[in-house]
Structure 1
């Protein structure tokens, strides 16, 4: 199905968006900025609380944290040792933040009496007129809302190229490892949250584009501009277990752009990997490629990998820029480079179930599926961001079903018609 641009707009901020993360079952974090240039465009994070009012999804701003001159191009969120941590790529360094939960007065938030500045929720002084307008109910009943503090902890340099820049950061599912990649083409594996360097993995010859941990965290896949997807053993090997190259169906040379692992509900022991790729040549109409692989994680825990097998491949009308896989592995989402469109596919068949043309005014920079608890009114709900400063939500409607009362009426009608026909025929 298709939907026109403008449906599902959740929020618009005052800076370009480059990173998107699910913070809790109801909170989402967006990050970006305008860089170090003196343009007046801020750099930092914003957190929104999402809900459904029975008709549509709505977003309410919870807090804002500005990062000074440092734009946030990539980030990763994970709960480790009972605490929530945020890792953000800022130029050549990875900045670690601790995200603390706070309970604040909801009435004060609605009146603007709380505002977030540098991670701290501050109270402004009420005017006399505001005090006069507070109802007796509000003064006696205090409704609390969740807010957050983002506090900087540690920072480490993760890229050492001539013009160092961290391109991607990923925290493992168990919260014990962190992987980073940048311009120098090295994959670095760190302990987390201590951020001590464990291994420097060398296999790529060009800058990194993406990283992802397998569901059990024993495998790490890295993608770079040299056209390779390398699979590493996070526990033993210094050499890649697998080297995967893109296999386009039309013979055109393609380079991987993004990679994500996904669970397989039908075969729990089989992990699928999804990739998007774009053609090297820019002549003619560039067609993006969405692919599903198996065998990437074969031999997990044994230090050996089998050959990756390409299971599905779909050509899209234009180049791709973003990829997301839902946590349960049922749906895959992609974002396009030129038209800013968003599409959702069933994972096992790569059959398209939703297309939102020109969802954004510019290329899509990030995608995340909403937790199933929040998206229970639909089959799936996908968030998308772009440098157009907008946060959108795109819902995949549940298959239509016949209400029970209509089914009962239909059954009674069929029985009546059958009885009438039998009486007429004398049966």
Structure 2
């Protein structure tokens, strides 16, 4: 039998047990972790020589199932805040290395890919990343000047290694779904709440105007109510939900859960094919990927095609040359966001209205047509909104760079 002794910071020792009752073990210190190389802006040095505030993440430590680099870093780097700008599949991520340092100036970090500064809207295949080094302090990021006031995120992509050419194919697939719905009133509950609110408002306005009141006036139709108080939109009740004669609510013809109508289980898939290899004279890494991710909101999606080629050649003992090519094409199906987004409409739209007509088509202007008469908000059917609104955003991001290193 063999006993294995290990401890953080020390070399592992394997001792063969051959019947001896006493075993003496002495662990030797290991410097391997201090010899790892990190990038600090203008050079690569060993961890043991680093004096600044730097965090490094290897590809094996990231969540490579995430669709973007920012999401792959969530929870992986201490002191770095990573958040998604929205829940859409095409939404970007916001990274804060040093927090918010100014009201007017940007707090975004500078992104540097393979030594070349890039814009904030970084889209790179997580499968192509070798390491990510985040420079937090001013000394480490000084070479980039004021652009690095929010820190620096340095991304190093994969390179070819010595050996025969090697193909690698990766595929990921899954389903995303709404984690939790907002609890809302159903149609019957909403109708009763509306009737009580409109009747109470009618009574208060009549009494405040100094007019006589009795509860039989709850049977006043909308014309009489408007004539008595002059504020029809706050006291009128739709005839299809209220029986004025009996002063009771009518059973709703529909009970629509707008969140169920708007949201769906969304499928995603990602394929990546890479070919790499090299020898002492040339090293190469070529990859291509395709990502197809539907959003949980109906008719939203993100499609992306990407290609990357990193080639490096040793021309002589002192001269090394290389070239990097990155091509990315995105095609997003988007919806509006903010106050009049379909997500907001799904929370505010009347539950007693139908989502579709007899032919299965989304009904347009169902609530907005009643807005002036009954004081409703001018919202649109969220199902009609996502089906009728066509927002396709096409993007192309191409990067080409070449370099030469000559040792003096």
Greater helix content:
2
Q: What is the TM-score with the length of structure 1 in the denominator?
A: 0.18
Higher-Rg member (1/2): 2
Normalising to structure 2: TM-score of the pair? Answer: 0.19
More strand by share: 1
